[in-house]
Amino acid sequence: MSSLPTPAAAPAPTPVPAPAATRLPRVLRGILSLDDFEAAARRRLPRPIYGYVAGAAENNHSRDDNRAAFAELGFVPRVLVDVSRRDQSVELFGRRYATPFGIAPMGISALSAYRGDIVLARAAQAAGIGAIMSGSSLIPLEAVHEAAPGTWFQAYLPGDPARIDALIERVARAGYRTLVLTVDIPVSANRENNVRTGFSTPLKPSLRLAWDGLTHPAWLAGTFLRTLARHGMPHFENSFATRGAPILSANVLRDFSARDHLNWAHVARIRRAWKGELVIKGIMSPADAALARQHGVDGIIVSNHGGRQLDGTVSPLRVLPDVAEAAGGMVVMMDSGIRRGADVLKALALGARYVFVGRPMNYAAAVAGEAGVAHAIRLLRDEVDRNLAMLGLLSCAALDVGVLRPMGPMGAAR
């Protein structure tokens, strides 16, 4: 195996004070919570693209359980505590982030918003929070790192040593410090919603697809045609070390090969080669968390992929305490279903050190670009701040399971 360059030291994100109130763009003035972005994005995006982002697998049971799990837990606040000096910043891998949440990796986000991967990464950097770029992206990873140093890179790797070596060498050469290996896609999921809405990868030209574009002129002109004019036809740029399929093609197929070969022996190989932080995303079992620790992994993300893989997988929140216990000294993070500041704090109380937010940030970028993502970050950050104060806590480190109780009928709590 070739010797890989050591990832360059990226500027460390630092806590960013809340900016002074500014006049929001008109499109954002009615957006009061992360959930509000979805309706606005649905109006702007063509049906296939909105369906791809919003949908999950089969009957969406896992996607829906991600939200239901949070609703089953309530808080027990303390009062008459001086919380005037509260601080929600957290430290990960020797870097301090302004909030305990970041932006999850989302594939083909440049189809939802113009230069979507860069928009998400820049907004995160400006706010002092973490962001993970998806390997299923349409902008070269080098361009995203140049625009926002400190962004993490997420890879879908096949069980092919030559392809593994080539991609991680490229990622290291680009200057990334944190590599996130997503491991819950051995095969493609049964996403019937994609078929129903006309989405595929690559997209197939059709009269229906053309009509979907024409009936959403703001997206057509502001995202798709603008991208074509300035950057040409988007391709999958980062699945492997070389360029992949175009996003629009009548015949070309996207390469999903050999992911069902990936196993812990490949993780050991990646750990030997990768000199930066190595994170595994998609851990749901305590046994797998223990194996990750044994293989020298630096952190894990407890995740069911937003409900987009195996339908019927429980919410990550339900397994988080057991996984965190098995993780030992590794950094434990979580995604899937985060929509409110209360959700962030519940996950932290159950053992996560950090959480990632997906779909709402994609919707925010689609609605108003970088300004939309910045507004989404502010909304969630302000909710975290208010909730810490009302819980009687000064910091995220003070959270533990003692602040939580079951919600619902009294009998359920006995």
Contact indicator for 171, 153 with CB cutoff of 8 Å = yes
Place of tokens 């602040």: 403
Q: Where are the beta strands (DSSP E) in 60-215?
A: 73-75, 90-92, 95-97, 101-103, 132-133, 152-155, 178-182
Q: How many CB atoms lie within 10 A of CB 84?
A: 7
Contact indicator for 103, 120 with CB cutoff of 8 Å = yes
Taking the C-alpha atoms of residue 187 and residue 184, their distance in angstroms, rounded to an integer, is 9
Taking the C-alpha atoms of residue 230 and residue 222, their distance in angstroms, rounded to an integer, is 12
| Helix ranges (DSSP H) in 221-354 | 226-231, 264-273, 286-294, 316-327, 341-349
> Which entry of 235, 266, 305, 375 is annotated as an active-site residue?
305
Taking the C-alpha atoms of residue 99 and residue 92, their distance in angstroms, rounded to an integer, is 11
Taking the C-alpha atoms of residue 114 and residue 223, their distance in angstroms, rounded to an integer, is 5
Taking the C-alpha atoms of residue 32 and residue 387, their distance in angstroms, rounded to an integer, is 16
Q: How many CB atoms lie within 10 A of CB 79?
A: 7
In this structure, the strands spanning 101-103 and 132-133 are unpaired
Taking the C-alpha atoms of residue 171 and residue 157, their distance in angstroms, rounded to an integer, is 12
- 305 has catalytic annotation: yes
The catalytic residue positions are 305
